[in-house]
Amino acid sequence: MNAFISQLSFISSITDIDQLQKYTSDSSGFTSALPAIVLRPASTEEVAACIKACVAHQKNYTIQGGLTGLAGGACPDEGDVVISLERMNQIEEIDTVGGTAIVQAGVVLEQLQQAVLEQGWYFPLDLGARGSCQIGGNIATNAGGNKVFRYGTTRELVLGLEVVLPDGTVLNMLNRVIKNNTGLDLKHLFIGTEGRYGVITRACVRLFPKPAAVYSALAALKSFADVTVLLKEARASMAELSSFEVMWDNYLKTAAQVANKAIPFDGQYPIYVLLEAEGAAEGLDTKLTTFLEQQLESGLLQDVIIPQSEEQAKGLWHIRDASGETLRIMKHFVAFDIGIPLKHMQEFIEKTEQALQAKYPHAMNLFFGHLGDGNLHLLTGKLTEEELLPVEDLVYQLTALYGGSITAEHGIGRIKKPFLHYSRSPEQIKLMQKIRELINSDNLLNKARVVE
């Protein structure tokens, strides 16, 4: 280790045991492990130097961003080298003509959101961990979030990447144009593949004109069937619809209490939808209000809250985004992130809840999700450690039965790797293994994630 450290003496590093504690795990609850050293490069060249040293000394290394992941992907093994990208936090350029931004991988999502807003532009990727998660991790996991319904996942927001391969080679693919038909689009080898094929160091992302107005509303409904009707009606009536978030009563009540907020409607309805529309300032509030009034008159909606200020709207979104805070009271837990065809969603939820209550009556089960894109979140907690794997297997068997995906946005990481076969065929897994063997042949980079 001394020779390794000496080779990288020009790079900021941490070896003190107390300081290393921060880098032992992410937000997933996966078993913590103490790395031998944390390297904190500040440039692509320094990342490449770190990787070349790891290869030369045959040391396993784990890439870390904001440590907000829920699949264990950023968790090192004992004695790993951790390469943290937290010092690569520069927004290098905001192109206010073409609507793009060049950012380093360690830029915090909220930092980018605010910086482009000040320039009259808008970066629509948004999730509850916005204040901590980093762009590199968002790209590596193909993060989803609250606005996928309108803008797509992170994949649709990335024009180009700079990546360091597992041998230290730097690939500069910082393309700035939407149309580029020059053969295999190599950036997709690194978007959503969780750092198994290379380390993302910089990105060129798409921006959109800043919406002149944003309005939210919380609607109460009596059934999931009504939610699907509301979704269709909202899509048909409002092209400006950007978010369609669903919360079942158990999640709404718990999240509101944890977030220290009043429970909307006193929690008297079984299911709720948090809508958001964004667009032109003139007439959008009237359009949204008129639409909601029509749905109330028709009986589709039971009640509705229309915030009268930005602060009130933030309060509603705080409840929706309080899943991380909620997990703190649910240890031990599994944070499910499932993709289910919308037509099967209600049946899946009923079967899953019945199965969990039958086998684990002491468990706490909370349902919510980005239902506009078929992404259901289920938090199952108050479990013993021994119950975690059986609970996951139970839910993922049902997920496969309904043609769903075991992860819609969080990724496979370490935690979901044993269950990948529920969503991917043996042939698909074998191909992913072959690509890993080709690009990451010594398997030092992010070992034990996704596939072996």
Give the strand pairing for 61-64 and 81-84: parallel
Kindly state the percentage of the chain with pLDDT values over 70.
100
Query: Domain 2-84 belongs to what topology?
Result: 3.30.43
Q: Does domain 213-324 have CATH number 3.40.1360.10?
A: no
DSSP lists the bridge partners of residue 37 as: 81
CB 71 within 8 A of CB 191: no
Write phi, then psi, for 148 (nearest 5 degrees): -55, -35
For 330-410, the fitting CATH number among 3.30.70.2740, 3.20.20.80, 3.30.450.40, 2.30.140.10 is 3.30.70.2740
pLDDT in tens, 100-143: 999 999 999 999 999 999 999 999 999 989 999 999 999 999 99
* pLDDT at residue 208, rounded to an integer: 97
* pLDDT at residue 261, rounded to an integer: 95
* pLDDT at residue 256, rounded to an integer: 97
* pLDDT at residue 104, rounded to an integer: 98
pLDDT classification of 183: cutoffs 50, 70, 90: confident
* pLDDT at residue 252, rounded to an integer: 97
Kindly state the percentage of the chain with pLDDT values over 90.
91
Q: Is the pTM of this model over 0.85?
A: yes
d(CA 439, CA 129): 31
Same fold, 213-324 and 330-410: yes
pLDDT in tens, 39-65: 999 999 999 999 999 999 999 999 999
pLDDT in tens, 369-399: 988 788 999 999 999 999 999 999 999 999 9
With a cut of 90, say whether residue 172 has pLDDT above it.
yes
CATH class for the domain made up of 91-209: alpha beta
DSSP lists the bridge partners of residue 205 as: 101, 158
Residues 278-285 have a mean pLDDT of 93
* pLDDT at residue 248, rounded to an integer: 97
For the chain, which residues make up each domain, given as ranges? 2-84, 91-209, 213-324, 330-410
